[in-house]
């Protein structure tokens, strides 16, 4: 019985630490996507600057800005639908397991209802050469690198199991 309680506590602690360690790309003020409206990518099919006066602090700790109250309300009703993949870090960088790169809100794509951001248009062009393969690589790598500090990734520290490039 004691071991079952311990196991339950241990699993709960792991789950809590995984969610508490979610790494979200924000500016120094805690604003995600450089202040762009995550809903606009889906509803207006373009990157649109959000307004400081229309914002929401999400459970992940980041503040998201919106271009309209309607977009804010859509986000509040279903944030997982609109949040960028990989905490808003460059999807190509995650696939390459190189680093958690910042992103340019104008270098974006929606694939299968998910928002992917890239470092810049040049990187996005490379990403588009094999989107399904890079997504598979990113999906493999993100759980392995999410909790590793950027400074360690920049030094070349990689956990076992990461893949490089499209898979």
How large is the greatest C-alpha to C-alpha distance in the chain, in angstroms? 57
Q: Identify the CA nearest to 142 among candidates 69, 77, 93, 83.
A: 93
pLDDT of 146 strictly over 50: yes
The average confidence (pLDDT) of the chain is: 87
pLDDT of 160 strictly over 90: no
Percent residues over pLDDT 70 in the chain: 87
- Is residue 71 a contact partner of residue 122, using CB atoms and an 8 Å limit? no
Q: Whole-angstrom Cα distance, residue 25 to residue 125?
A: 21
For 15-54, the pLDDT digits (tens) are 333 333 368 999 999 999 999 999 999 999 999 999 999 9
The pTM of the full predicted model, rounded to 2 decimals, is 0.84
Taking the domains of the chain in order of start, what are their residue ranges? Answer: 22-79, 84-155
pLDDT band at 159 (very low <50, low <70, confident <90, very high): confident
């Amino acid at each position: 019985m004691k071991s079952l309680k311990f196991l339950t506590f241990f699993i709960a602690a792991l789950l809590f630490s995984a969610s508490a360690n979610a790494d979200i790309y924000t500016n120094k003020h805690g604003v995600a996507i450089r202040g762009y409206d995550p809903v606009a990518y889906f509803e207006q099919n373009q990157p649109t600057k959000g307004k400081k006066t229309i914002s929401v602090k999400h459970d992940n700790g980041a503040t998201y800005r919106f271009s309209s109250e309607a977009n804010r309300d859509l986000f509040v009703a279903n944030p997982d639908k609109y949040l960028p993949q990989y905490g808003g870090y460059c999807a190509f960088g995650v696939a390459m397991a190189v680093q958690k790169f910042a992103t340019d809100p104008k270098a974006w794509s929606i694939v299968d209802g998910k928002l992917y951001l890239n470092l810049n248009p040049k990187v996005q062009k490379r990403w588009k050469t094999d989107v399904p393969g890079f997504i598979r690589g990113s999906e493999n790598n993100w759980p392995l690198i999410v909790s590793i500090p950027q400074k360690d990734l920049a030094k070349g520290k990689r956990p076992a199991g990461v893949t490089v490039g499209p898979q």
